[in-house]
Amino acid sequence: MTDGSAPTDAPQPVGGPGRRRAPRPGRSRWLAAGGVAVLAGVLGLTLALRAGATPACAAPPAAVAPLGVAVPPAAAPPVGGAVHKGKATFYDSKGAGGNCSYPSAPANRLYVALGPSEYAAGAACGGHLDVTGPKGTVRVLVMDQCPECAPGHLDLSREAFARIADPVQGIVSVSYRAVVDPPLPGPLTFRIKEGASRYWFAVLVADHGNPLRAVEVRQGDSGGWRAAARQDYNYWLVESGAGPGPYSIRVTDVYGHRVTAGGIRLAPGQVQRGTVRMYGGGASVGGGRPAAHSASPRPSASPTPRATSPRPSPSAAPASASPSAPDAPVVPLAAEAPAAGCRN
């Protein structure tokens, strides 16, 4: 994974130029026979059409994965009110803000790392989940990716895990669902990435409550909007730049809330707090100003190393999930074998 600040070389063909893979025995004969069959089918269809017959309409064949190859689920963050069932382990980010590039972990240290299918290349960053286990429910911020976690496997902070289960268990069954419009800590914040200039722009948006769908930037308070592209480390990038600033930044979340913050300066490495909230408050254009805390170091573009969670005792069976809310549909996850290196 890269942070977009430096180009990478294009991959070279395996084996070098001029090398070709030898054909499999019998493949030419199979292709010849197949070609004859296709030709016969085309001729038959042509004759039928000339005779006035109308070919039957059929739906296109469904894509079938090769035998023994699992089809991965489409990557998407948890949203809406659907309840999911899965399992939870725990780790310690050591105070870092995880793959979502936040300057630090939240002050209450209640956070979660999701597997690639639910982290969804950064689309889940900044959202919240309510996770229910044997001891109760805890609300956590999505701030990290767990590369080895299968769908439904939540890697909680140690503090969050302790709210729902005894840490000595190491792994427990849980149910969880996305929180829609959680209370906000304040107005939106913006952090321009180190290395940004009028010719290359990247911004980290935080304190938005729900996962984001789009970020757009324009120079000043007028002119056309430039769509920023989400990076998997949670910055929004305008490769060709957005001008010298100050900027207006328009933010849209997955539920359709949209606000515009103005006066965001080209101040790489500084956290600037606007005057508009993502929802529940004014949506007028406001001026940006630096936050009270100091600038944080440049976030790494690679996943933050995470400590290994303790393994459960062989005699300890995972606890059953708490009952799901009666007013929300339960989405069971297919049973899967633990991925290599997965803490289970």
Which DSSP symbol is given to 144?
Answer: E
Token pair recorded at residue 44: 């038959």
Model confidence at 330: pLDDT above 70:
no
pLDDT tens track for 22-77: 333 333 333 333 444 444 444 443 434 344 443 333 444 444 445 554 445 678 99
What is the average pLDDT score of the chain? Answer: 74
Q: Where are the beta strands (DSSP E) in 235-276?
A: 236-238, 247-253, 258-264, 271-273
Q: What is the CA radius of gyration of the chain?
A: 26
How far apart are alpha carbons 6 and 220 in whole angstroms? Answer: 27
pLDDT for 35 equals 45
Q: Where are the alpha helices (DSSP H) in the chain?
A: 27-50, 116-119, 158-164
pLDDT for 66 equals 54
* ∠ Cα 146 150 152 (to 5°): 95
β-bridge mates for residue 273, sequence order: 189, 289
Token pair recorded at residue 269: 């490495």
246: preceding bond cis by omega (within 30 degrees):
yes
CB under 8 Å to 91, separation ≥6 — which residues?
113, 146, 155, 156, 157, 158, 306, 307, 308, 309, 343
pLDDT tens track for 256-297: 999 999 999 999 999 999 999 999 975 433 333 333 333 333
Coil, helix or strand at residue 49: helix
More confident residue, 335 or 9: 9
